[in-house]
């Protein structure tokens, strides 16, 4: 009997030990599960941060690309307008030199009369200066140097008509250097041919145009070749290789 009781006690001890061990294991399992949940949350947060960082990096990369593109555009604009500034400065310098040279022999007055030792122009169509006369002659040289005298007078007349129209600047130099949408109206001003010395014949044509001669019937424009598409044929006048148009 004592032996049986002793065995029961041993079994009870073993059962209690097993139960305690099982309880400890469950406690550890619960702790492990809690840590696992915490790790999963941490991993989820890290993945979210990684995605956010990736998105931020993409945004920064695009911004950098946009900035580089903007810098290239700014460089292109700087080069473009820098070159245009050089052209403008060269034109101004050339015109100033021409005015100084012509001014020695040609005198302008407020009565629209310009004269030198050989030329006297009275009752000119518009007021102008010595530099205007030289500039007009140089434009005629560049635009119609190879055309007939009548065509040369016609080119000068277009400039005079613009000055008188009220729709363009009110001086010869301003009309010749006028721009539309940032582009010079007369090609020789843009390409530099305006800086060539005027021919004797074109100076005479400029003087005649200033005297009021107008073979173009008050034209405001002229083109090399035939009438541009869309222009009314009735409004055009052809002189040599040039076509003259009104407004």
Q: Given this model, what pLDDT does residue 247 score?
A: 64
Q: What is the CATH number of domain 130-245?
A: 1.10.10.2520
Q: Given this model, what pLDDT does residue 5 score?
A: 73
Q: Where exactly are the structural domains of the chain?
A: 1-67, 130-245
Q: Given this model, what pLDDT does residue 138 score?
A: 96
Could you give the CA distance from residue 129 to residue 135 in angstroms, rounded to a whole number? 10
Q: Given this model, what pLDDT does residue 95 score?
A: 55
**Tokens 């010749």, located at residue:** 176
Q: Hey, what are 106's tokens?
A: 């040609």
Q: Given this model, what pLDDT does residue 106 score?
A: 43
Compute the chain's Rg from CA coordinates: 46
Could you give the CA distance from residue 237 to residue 154 in angstroms, rounded to a whole number? 10
Could you give the CA distance from residue 147 to residue 134 in angstroms, rounded to a whole number? 19
Provide the terminal-to-terminal Cα distance of the chain, rounded to the nearest Å: 137
Q: Given this model, what pLDDT does residue 121 score?
A: 67
Reference 205, options 242, 160, 150, 146; nearest CA is: 150
Q: Given this model, what pLDDT does residue 167 score?
A: 92
Q: Given this model, what pLDDT does residue 58 score?
A: 85
For the chain, 247 residues long, give each residue's pLDDT as a single digit of tens: 767 777 777 777 877 777 777 887 888 888 888 888 888 888 888 888 888 888 888 888 888 888 888 888 777 777 766 666 666 666 666 655 555 554 444 444 334 434 443 455 678 889 888 899 999 999 999 999 999 999 999 999 999 999 999 999 999 999 999 998 889 999 999 999 999 999 888 999 999 999 999 999 999 999 887 666 666 555 678 999 999 987 6
What DSSP assignment string belongs to 179-202? EETTEESSHHHHHSGGGSPPPHHH
């Amino acid at each position: 009997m004592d032996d049986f009781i002793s065995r029961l006690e041993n079994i009870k001890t073993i059962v209690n030990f097993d139960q305690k061990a099982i309880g400890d294991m469950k406690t550890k399992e619960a702790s492990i599960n809690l840590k696992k949940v915490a790790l999963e949350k941490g991993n989820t947060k890290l993945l979210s941060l990684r995605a956010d960082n990736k998105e931020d990096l993409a945004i920064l990369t695009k911004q950098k690309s946009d900035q580089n593109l903007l810098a290239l555009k700014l460089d292109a604009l700087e080069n473009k307008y820098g070159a245009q500034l050089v052209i403008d400065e060269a034109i101004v310098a050339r015109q100033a030199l021409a005015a100084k040279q012509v001014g020695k022999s040609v005198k302008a007055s407020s009565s629209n009369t310009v004269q030198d030792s050989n030329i006297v122009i009275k009752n000119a169509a518009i007021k102008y200066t010595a530099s205007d006369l030289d500039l007009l002659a140089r434009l005629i040289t560049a635009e119609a140097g190879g055309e007939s005298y009548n065509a040369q007078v016609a080119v000068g007349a277009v400039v005079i008509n613009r000055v008188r129209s009220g729709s363009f600047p009110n001086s010869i130099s301003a009309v010749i250097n006028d721009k539309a949408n940032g582009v010079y109206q007369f090609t020789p001003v843009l390409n530099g041919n305006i800086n060539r010395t005027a021919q004797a014949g074109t100076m005479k044509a400029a003087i005649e145009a200033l005297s009021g001669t107008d073979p173009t019937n008050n034209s405001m424009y002229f083109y090399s070749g035939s009438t541009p598409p869309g222009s009314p044929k009735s409004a055009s006048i052809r002189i040599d290789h040039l076509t003259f148009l009104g407004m």
